[in-house]
Structure 1
Amino acid sequence: MKQKSLLNFFGKKKDNDDGIDSSPAPKTRTIDLKNESFSTPTKKAKTINLTPQKEAKSTPKDKLNSFKSPTMKRILSDANVPSSPQSPNNYKTPTKKQKVLESNYPTPSKEKNEDRYEWLENVRDIDMNGPGNVNYLMPLGDEEYNPSTLYIPPSAWSQFTPFEKQYWEVKCQYFDSVVFCKKGKFYELYENDADIGAKEFDLKMTERVNMRMVGVPEATFEFWAAKFIARGYKVARMDQLETSIGKSLREKDSKKDKVIRRELTAVLTAGTLVDSDLLTSDMAVYCCALKERRLSESQVEYSVVFCDTSTAQFYVSHFEDDEVSTKLETLMVQVQPKEIVYERNGISKETLKLMKRILPGNTLWQISKREFPGDDFIDLIKGKEYFSDELMNKLSMMNELTISCLGGLYLYLDGLKLGDDLLSMKRITEYDPLNHGKCMILDGSTLKNLEIFGENGLFNVINKCSTAMGKRMLKNWVCYPLKKADEINERYDAIDELYKLDLINEIQSAIGKLPDVERLLSRIHCGGCKLNLFLNVIDSLEYLNQWLNEKLLKIEFESKLINTLLLMFPKDFENILEPFVNGFDRTLALKEGSIIPNPRTDKEYDSICDEVELIKQKLHKHLQEQKQILNTTDIRYKDIGKDLFQIEVPVNTKVPMDYIMLTKTKNVKRYHNPTLKNLVKDYQETLEKKSLFLDSYFTKIQLKFDENYSTFMKIANLVSQLDCLCSLAKSRDTFGLPFCRPTIQEEEFSFIDFEDLYHPILKINKDIIPNTVKIRSDNVDASMIIVTGANMGGKSTLLRQTCLGIILAQIGCYIPAKSCTISPVDRIFTRIGAHDNIMAGQSTFMVELSETSKILREATPKSMVILDELGRGTSTFDGYSIAYSVLHYLANHIKCMGLFATHYHSLTQDFSSHSTITNYHMAIHTDELLKQVTFLYKFVPGVCPKSHGMNVAKMAGLPISIIEEAERIAKEFEECHQEFM
């Protein structure tokens, strides 16, 4: 995805016809962000600095000066007004640079604007830095330019209408975002944002000089926001926080405003979505911060903090890495973050290239070094009192790189109005990308080479989960297969018992009715859950409680794992749910759009309701009085739009002088009079008070619900694990016959014994041939197998299906084989396929050697190593020598299991007498007369006599004359080679 900025949309000159609601806006140019760089129409791509601006929050002023970061200062500022840091309320004496540059901005005329403002023509950030353009005073731009802010001179602020000032106080701090400004029943986009709406989506534009505008209905906000985000834009949401009636109520006890109160309520980006209407996938979406410190030429230190904003789950990782950044690559492949925030000039070119290669199209944001705080971040968190002393001590014990990284991500999220909501959930977990301990290691290279998470990868084949929570947990199980035999067998025992009791479909049917509880708990914590979703959570948990008590909890399971899971379910769960199940009428709440307190349970609400009824009685009495005054019974109240209780009478009815006609038709006229007007105003204000109370009441209920967050998360975890077990059980039906439960044995050395193993992915849609693979099993004592065979004969497929079989077995999944017995593997290494890593500036041969070097350093006797065509990236003799040496080292020193596919047939001869190396090949049938080969795809003992490249060339359609010439040269080369050897 390209993350786009908003610099390059130029406005046309037309009269301003928007009255009080018109306002000047920046004329800018488009810059497409490709990862961390923007490309402009006039210059080469230029990496820019993106520092999100934050709104002020309260803290003592003497603490404020200890923070270097402007964002930290804004967060801790003691300003109580929502005005911009550069608005007149906060205006400070200009610096020398500002004075020089401000002299270029002419004072705007109070007359109707015929020309665009100079400060919109020559855009600068809040610190007066320019982006770089031939129109600017600094053609090459400032290194510290921050495109998220816009400088507006004091002379311009004084000329703004109230609405213009309100709008620009937000837009000048979120200049790189498309601002959707709520106005009545519409969201409106102005100026360059309007240009984008018209250009990208053909929205109809109202042309003006300084306030071009497009609009969309409020009900379609999520639809249009999703479209803008999909095109790579940030979307800032500026909402009305009151109605016109609410405004009049507020002004009874305070100074009158000329405009309805509006504030920024959210900033949406591809990696930080929390609204279920905008989330398009059940899988976790991550926003990530990265810090790097070079230790030596061959060692680098990384801190990575990433967050799933939909569940408020933070992960913290710190590690030292090798020269090819194995751990960082693994983490990025596992997590696949949508956005990465890093310090400008703070990470190496090699790391940037690695991320661009692994995460093509994802967004890389540069932010200033000042936005990655140090110990001052710990002081900030202490002041917020989110965490217990124990958790604060753990945070304080983190190394400085990790603290800075966590602080940088928090400040970025805070600029998106998410920082406090997410961090206050206290969900911070340490993350080890290679998970040294109880799990098999699958590094980034292996995950990619085996296509675990591709569109047609292993995960999608076995994912039969019925809940979003289960899908996310299953992905974690696939990333980290178990490696202890007891734990693996416990999973199989649980699956077998669920099958035996015929509970798989019943469980998934029951839990499948649950919404994404894990994500919704995060929204409830923030008080931002939509009413229908909140009620759905309560309904679903009530159903789950009933079903578990009536079904699963009554069964005496033999499975240790299932019994452990069911212990997560609290015995007093019914009491926990009771205030939400019986505390209000859920059917009525859904109908009315608000949770209504039960009668006579809340004095404040009862008082408001009584007031509404009293006014209704007065209105009824007033109507009866008007019947007598007008001497007619043909009179009634009529609501037309916002004008309520209009007195409707026949068109010829004579009315008193104080009647004011509002509307009429051919047959009737409708009026208000002074008394009625005051009654209607009282009625509307009372309804507004009722609405405000109900909004506050719903927030209180969500906070009450959130008090049991840890209990509800245990329920979510229970459901997720049950769903994963059912998914693994159902996947065996996907494979079809044959399938088997592997026998898992704990041994000193790992071994594998697959009889008639099918490729688990290819078997679904193709009629494929199974193969038996044995290493250190039965009569096969060898730990390394040299695999030879013709091109297209199935060598690479065999290597992959063997690895996939091991992974399935250690996840706890039935596998497509006649039988399987293994001792768990601690890690799978793969060197499959030749590819030039252009982004990293590495050749095929360099990639081969780098990956092989990692294998030789980190493999153990319990590892599985897959090497495919090692050495083909260089000359024949160099390649053969390297292949020989690596195979010898793996067999004699590391003593791991391995499959070594090669076209170097001399290796089979050189290691023919080796005790731990044996030869297998992919069988073919050759018709020498017709010079045709038939691939049998069977893995059999022995050596393939040759690679049959000429037969493949014929199949590919090469001219016969070229093939015959190639055969002659190959024969000569083979004779020379034998003489040399």
Structure 2
Amino acid sequence: MQSVGKQKTLFSFFGKLTPGSSKSAHPSSEKTAKEQKAVSNEELNCTNEESPIKMLKNGQKRRLVIIESDSDSESETNIAKTNEPANEHGSPVSPVFPISKRARLSVSGLNNLSTSTPKSCEKTLEKFCYRSTISDQSIEVTTNEKHETSECRFESTFEESTSYLNEKDNSYFSSFVADDSFLKESTQQRFKHLDFEFLKPEKIRCPFCNLLDFDHNNIHVQYFCRDLNRRRPDDADYDARTLFVPESFLKEQTPAHRQWWLMKSKHFDTILFFKVGKFYELYHMDAVVGVKNLNLSFMKGEYAHCGFPEVSFDRFSDQLIEHGFKIARVEQTETPEMLQKRAHQELLPCKDKVIRREICRIITRGTKTYNFLDTEDDNVQVSYLAALCEQNSTDKKNQIGICFVNTSVGKISISQFEDDCDYSQLRTLLASYPPVQILFPRGQLSQHMLNMFKYNLNNVDKEALIPKVQFWTAADTLRHLSLDCYFGVDDQGNVNWPEALATCIDQQDLFQQTPKPQYALGISSFGAVIWYLKECLIDHDIIRLKNVELYSPPTTMEIGKLASCHQPLKNRYMVLDDITLRNLDIVNFERKKSTKLTLYDEINLCKTAMGKRLLHFWLCNPLCDLQEIEQRQTAVRNLIEQTELFESLIKQLREIPDLERLLQKMHSLSIKAPNTDHPECRAVYFEADTYSKRKVADFVQLISGFSKANKLMHTVCNFASEIHSSLLQMLFIRKGGCKCFPDIESDVQYFQNAFDHETAKTIGSIIPEKGVDPALDAANQTIVHAEEQLEKYLKTIQKRLNCSSVQYLSSGRNRYNLEIPESACKNLNHEFDFRSQRKGFKRYTTKELDELVKLLAASEADREVALKDIMRRLFASFCERKMKWYAAVENIATLDVLLAFAQYAKCSTREVCCPKFVDAIDGKTFLRLDESVHPCCGKIKTQGDYIANDVLIGSSESDTGQVLLLTGANMGGKSTLMRQVGTLVVLAQIGSYVPARHFTLSPVDRIFTRIGARDSLITGQSTLFVELRETSAILKHATIHSFVIIDELGRGTSTWDGTAIAYATLQYITNHIGCRTIFSTHYHSLIDSLAANPRIRLGHMACMVENEIEGADPTEENVVFLYKLAPGACPKSYGFNAAKLAGIHADVIKRAYAKSMYFAQMEKERVAQVKEAENAKV
């Protein structure tokens, strides 16, 4: 990374007019060649050289311009955002004002701002330079004919804006923002890129229209033309990421525009942040995206153009990335001096005489790494990049291969499993590890998989990769991993495979490039991830961490295996599919902040980012193993009891930063890839000092964070005699256990003493102490030796000349010259070479002295080389201990979540209890809740509104009542009670306390939910189909240990069909599965048919009804909901009360009530006839 000074302005870079572009930007305002020349920044010579505020002539308009006094500066442009209303195309318009004479500008209303003090003016304007407005009504113009100047006074000059560009942006007010007349015409007719033949709309076709029928808002590519190899979209090998740009068109471009188009042709689906000087510029179609999504302003010119300063990269890139765009950061990789030297050496033609630029990074939603260009991000939500492929079989079974990576921490997970035709396990996995971006092989997914994409991954960015070329085969993946040296080699030359990958490789292959069949699809998906990370230029940053694991999804059990389900559950996670996670509001699926309250929001009292991520994982994967659950419960109880320890740990955890992400940052900065040709190494940054300080600050924060983590471990150890939890002892108290807190004290002390932290943060560089870096120590030792030799030689000359006044003198390039008094120069021989003199002294050098000086210079050069790379080597030394660091992070995160559970129990406004788990023996599963409430009620209601409920399903002594058949009035609280029980089961099995007086249950292996009525417009599925699909999953995969919630099944069809479906489903669950179930319904005929079944208990949500008279006016009835579960069935659903509350007209309600009474009478008569016929037969 290089740092340079200021360069010339943007117009000097892009000022060359292309052929045919001599016409004015606006048809009604043609410019002469003289006026065109005057616009160029190279010709902007102002009358007042000291003032940074000038007027720029532009046809009949004058614009406020800020020009740097440094004549050597290049590209100091910026976009000034206004608060004016947008024009008809949604583009903000910067204000302009007409002035007939060249103006001298004096500004009032700003503190100490005047033309006579340009420095203060410049500093003051920096505060208001971005997103400021100049009101036309506030400008008063007076003309002085004698001096031909005008004076403008601003009454209410610059208004501060609330934009993302704030006071920290030290840039200037834009010189070249487009004015009103420029933007009056439609941009569809205005910008040149819309007239390019190779981008004409009639030549465009979207390849995804027939393939996936995706919403184009979710597709990065905006235009689909010929690709780089001139293939059309209907070609099987068409690459939508590239664009064919004719050579004839490139020849007409300026050198810089040619450079931009060459990059765009290879990255057509990417927004190029093109570095010009210290600004990132967007051109043509990219500029249109920038103006629309970033609220920037177009700059003056025939082509679409906007930009922003280097220091604002993170803000603007984040905004576009969250909109689903790809961002390519294009940096200058040489300075103007380097360009001049290269042009002279290589005899470059005119079209190639342009500063070299290279893409240093491509960023998407799934590949963010939070490097030194990014500011602190408070978002701890995990963003997964996933790649998947499938292999279909004839027996309705699918082999799924998937790889997902969290680039923010560098963790890679690989999995391959068999799934059913509904992709139950895949949907469950995607719910637990929600991706923000997914890769798949183009043309190789089944239509059923594509429909699942539309339904479950509608808001996820999707990219189709070319099979084998981009979505590698398993063998190609292993070959690339070997050739690119991601994992290094041992003494025998074999690859040091991570343990997880070594498991996937067929050991019979001596070349280690053949995968085992059961892992082939997973390794192929890993290959797609590698290709994509390589495309984004972060493959070494992520893969060389070796943080690879094999993921085994929770297995689902078929109905035929139910006979073996009567044994206790061991070493299994509870299965929560995406439907259950959404229906129970366990976690938030929206990327943006939502007002929807989830269980995660309620119990997320974690103090560290690592703890919050771990809590999210625990909620999506509750435990089934009783021993592990009880370990967490004991740890929480121990923390609650030890108040002093609890408060101390809470205080210390607040001070610990996001160690997990900082470790990934340090790893990226420590990498020295086998081919050190990464363009980032050559990038020229104008804010290099700022970025260096950020790197040092992150490193110091990381060291400090682990120091605090080590102190936290000592705090726990100080209470060792009071800690009875085996989990806390394993985490922090060293007793030889494999899970104990790693010994990091000596490592932390080493890095704390390795350099002066405060000095390093101030200067932005690290000067290590002696003994830290061998290369630097060797260079310093050589320097000391050379200086000693020089001192020894000086004493030799003094003794030889018998003159103690002989001294060394260094001046300019002449170092260590012997300055000898003239009186001692008489006896000098030819060995002494005369250099210079002053009165009374002459200066000489010798061959021996020259050799010593050369030795010293070489040693100093070695020292500079060592210091130049010292930061990376120190980071690498830190990352060599990564196994210790990650183990410490895991323990800290676990403690943080346990403390959050303890704090939730201590601070709850309701009575809480520790759930009691008992193994289900001989199939007797049960669940009992006393005085329970929904865990999220505390944040949405006052304490007086709580209605606690008792729930009993099953029995530890008998198999009766496994199903609770729930009825009640509309809006009586049935669905809320069902969700409450399911949420409490999840809360209990992650090890937390629950809001209830008592809670006893046998472990649940999976929760199924069929709640709500909704269709799927995207996949063309009706409400009934969605209901039955979810019911089908229950009947296929539920076991005796499952917990099932079914709410009003059959509402999407006729009454008779719905009743029949509900009846058959409930019968099957009761007689064949026997799992704990809450089944709510408004079909009261079910009650009559199933009330006698001993495995079914009846319950209803109680209510009080006033003025309930048979046949009377239904609008006179008043129903008071008690929200209390009571035994028995509810006689009516009181739907007319709901109609009244909804505001339906009384006449409509009365008419409906009359029809309801008629249907009821008809039903009674039909039943009576059936019974009479049956009695007659008897």
Q: TM-score, normalised by structure 2?
A: 0.64
Q: Tell me, yes or no, if the aligned pair for 2:1099 and 2:1126 is still in contact at 8 Å.
A: yes
Aligned mate of 2:616, from 475, 481, 484: 475
Q: Aligned residue for 1:884?
A: 1063
Q: Could you tell me how far apart the structure 2 residues matched to 1:691 and 1:185 are?
A: 27
Q: Which amino acid aligns with 1:546?
A: K
Paired residue secondary structure (1:441): coil
Q: Aligned residue for 2:186?
A: none
Q: Tell me, yes or no, if the aligned pair for 1:750 and 1:863 is still in contact at 8 Å.
A: no
Paired residue secondary structure (1:306): strand
Q: Tell me, yes or no, if the aligned pair for 2:729 and 2:740 is still in contact at 8 Å.
A: no
1:496 pairs with 2:637: yes
Q: Tell me, yes or no, if the aligned pair for 1:465 and 1:726 is still in contact at 8 Å.
A: yes
Q: Which amino acid aligns with 2:658?
A: D
Paired residue secondary structure (2:1162): helix
Change (3 A) 1:504 1:235: same
Deviation at 1:878, TM superposition (A): 1.9
Q: Which amino acid aligns with 1:576?
A: D
1:283 pairs with 2:375: no
Deviation at 1:311, TM superposition (A): 0.9
Q: Which amino acid aligns with 2:1068?
A: Y
Q: Tell me, yes or no, if the aligned pair for 1:14 and 1:208 is still in contact at 8 Å.
A: no
1:264 pairs with 2:359: yes
Q: Aligned residue for 2:1024?
A: 845
Q: Tell me, yes or no, if the aligned pair for 1:735 and 1:764 is still in contact at 8 Å.
A: no
1:508 pairs with 2:642: no
Change (3 A) 1:880 1:409: same
Q: Which amino acid aligns with 1:379?
A: R
Aligned mate of 1:230, from 287, 307, 322: 322
Paired residue secondary structure (1:303): strand
1:823 pairs with 2:1002: yes
Change (3 A) 1:439 1:906: same
Aligned mate of 1:596, from 763, 767, 781: 767
Deviation at 1:354, TM superposition (A): 2.3
1:586 pairs with 2:757: yes
Q: Aligned residue for 1:561?
A: 727
Q: Pick which of 542-551 and 577-586 moved more.
A: 542-551
Aligned mate of 2:483, from 380, 383, 389: 383
Aligned mate of 2:1118, from 932, 935, 947: 932
Post-superposition Cα deviations, 1:542-585, rounded to whole Å, max 9, x if no partner, equal: 23223422553552321100011114455642222233111111
Paired residue secondary structure (2:549): strand
Q: Aligned residue for 1:90?
A: none
Deviation at 1:904, TM superposition (A): 1.3
1:484 pairs with 2:657: no
Q: Aligned residue for 2:230?
A: 128
Q: Could you tell me how far apart the structure 2 residues matched to 1:46 and 1:867 are?
A: 33
Unaligned runs of 5+ residues in structure 1 are: 1-9, 53-119, 132-140, 623-684
Change (3 A) 1:11 1:487: farther
Q: Could you tell me how far apart the structure 1 residues matched to 2:1079 and 2:726 are?
A: 40
Aligned mate of 1:546, from 705, 711, 719: 711
Q: Which amino acid aligns with 2:542?
A: L
Aligned mate of 1:322, from 414, 420, 423: 420
Q: Could you tell me how far apart the structure 2 residues matched to 1:456 and 1:48 are?
A: 28
Q: Aligned residue for 2:927?
A: 752
Q: Aligned residue for 1:654?
A: none
Q: Could you tell me how far apart the structure 2 residues matched to 1:259 and 1:918 are?
A: 82
Of structures 1 and 2, the larger Rg is shown by 2
Q: Aligned residue for 2:471?
A: 372
Deviation at 1:431, TM superposition (A): 2.5
Q: Could you tell me how far apart the structure 2 residues matched to 1:692 and 1:186 are?
A: 30
Deviation at 1:302, TM superposition (A): 2.0
Paired residue secondary structure (2:989): helix
Q: Tell me, yes or no, if the aligned pair for 2:387 and 2:526 is still in contact at 8 Å.
A: yes
Paired residue secondary structure (2:435): coil
1:916 pairs with 2:916: no
Paired residue secondary structure (1:399): helix
Q: Tell me, yes or no, if the aligned pair for 2:1006 and 2:1038 is still in contact at 8 Å.
A: yes
Q: Aligned residue for 1:393?
A: 502
Deviation at 1:688, TM superposition (A): 12
Q: Which amino acid aligns with 2:541?
A: D
Post-superposition Cα deviations, 1:263-302, rounded to whole Å, max 9, x if no partner, equal: 2211111221111637552011011112123324743332
Change (3 A) 1:339 1:695: farther
Aligned mate of 1:424, from 544, 549, 570: 544
Q: Tell me, yes or no, if the aligned pair for 2:321 and 2:364 is still in contact at 8 Å.
A: yes
Change (3 A) 1:730 1:943: same
Change (3 A) 1:427 1:273: same
Unaligned runs of 5+ residues in structure 2 are: 1-17, 24-35, 43-73, 78-191, 488-495, 505-514, 557-570, 589-595, 671-693, 791-807, 816-857, 1109-1115, 1168-1178
Q: Which amino acid aligns with 1:270?
A: R
Aligned mate of 2:439, from 341, 344, 358: 341
Deviation at 1:886, TM superposition (A): 1.6
Question: Would you say how many aligned residue pairs link Structure 1 and Structure 2?
Answer: 824
Post-superposition Cα deviations, 1:618-676, rounded to whole Å, max 9, x if no partner, equal: 46999xxxxxxxxxxxxxxxxxxxxxxxxxxxxxxxxxxxxxxxxxxxxxxxxxxxxxx
1:173 pairs with 2:266: yes
Q: Tell me, yes or no, if the aligned pair for 2:624 and 2:989 is still in contact at 8 Å.
A: yes
Deviation at 1:607, TM superposition (A): 9.7
1:729 pairs with 2:902: yes
Q: Aligned residue for 1:858?
A: 1037
Q: Pick which of 294-303 and 839-848 moved more.
A: 294-303
Q: Which amino acid aligns with 2:717?
A: L
Q: Aligned residue for 1:273?
A: 368
Q: Could you tell me how far apart the structure 2 residues matched to 1:285 and 1:571 are?
A: 28
Q: Could you tell me how far apart the structure 1 residues matched to 2:1014 and 2:344 are?
A: 72
Q: Could you tell me how far apart the structure 2 residues matched to 1:811 and 1:548 are?
A: 24
Q: Could you tell me how far apart the structure 2 residues matched to 1:399 and 1:236 are?
A: 34
Deviation at 1:956, TM superposition (A): 1.9
Q: Aligned residue for 1:523?
A: 665
1:906 pairs with 2:1120: no
Change (3 A) 1:571 1:299: closer
1:450 pairs with 2:584: yes
Deviation at 1:378, TM superposition (A): 1.1
Q: Which amino acid aligns with 1:802?
A: V
Q: Which amino acid aligns with 1:446?
A: T
Q: Aligned residue for 1:301?
A: 399
Q: Pick which of 418-427 and 938-947 moved more.
A: 418-427
Q: Tell me, yes or no, if the aligned pair for 1:440 and 1:826 is still in contact at 8 Å.
A: yes
Aligned mate of 2:1157, from 967, 971, 978: 971
Q: Tell me, yes or no, if the aligned pair for 1:51 and 1:371 is still in contact at 8 Å.
A: no
Change (3 A) 1:371 1:47: farther
Q: Aligned residue for 2:68?
A: none
Q: Tell me, yes or no, if the aligned pair for 1:48 and 1:145 is still in contact at 8 Å.
A: no
Deviation at 1:843, TM superposition (A): 1.5
Paired residue secondary structure (1:562): helix
Q: Aligned residue for 1:774?
A: 952
Q: Pick which of 483-492 and 326-335 moved more.
A: 326-335
Deviation at 1:355, TM superposition (A): 2.4
Q: TM-score, normalised by structure 1?
A: 0.77
Q: Tell me, yes or no, if the aligned pair for 1:742 and 1:814 is still in contact at 8 Å.
A: yes
Post-superposition Cα deviations, 1:343-374, rounded to whole Å, max 9, x if no partner, equal: 22222333233223323332111221231111
Q: Tell me, yes or no, if the aligned pair for 2:405 and 2:411 is still in contact at 8 Å.
A: yes
Deviation at 1:753, TM superposition (A): 0.9
Deviation at 1:250, TM superposition (A): 9.7
Post-superposition Cα deviations, 1:936-973, rounded to whole Å, max 9, x if no partner, equal: 11101111011111222222222222222222211221
Paired residue secondary structure (1:704): helix
Change (3 A) 1:879 1:213: closer
Q: Tell me, yes or no, if the aligned pair for 2:339 and 2:353 is still in contact at 8 Å.
A: no
Deviation at 1:472, TM superposition (A): 0.7
Change (3 A) 1:733 1:501: closer
Q: Tell me, yes or no, if the aligned pair for 2:207 and 2:224 is still in contact at 8 Å.
A: no
Q: Could you tell me how far apart the structure 2 residues matched to 1:925 and 1:959 are?
A: 23
Deviation at 1:817, TM superposition (A): 0.8
Q: Which amino acid aligns with 2:1122?
A: L
Change (3 A) 1:521 1:932: same
Deviation at 1:804, TM superposition (A): 0.9
Q: Tell me, yes or no, if the aligned pair for 1:927 and 1:933 is still in contact at 8 Å.
A: yes
Q: Aligned residue for 2:107?
A: none
Change (3 A) 1:869 1:37: farther
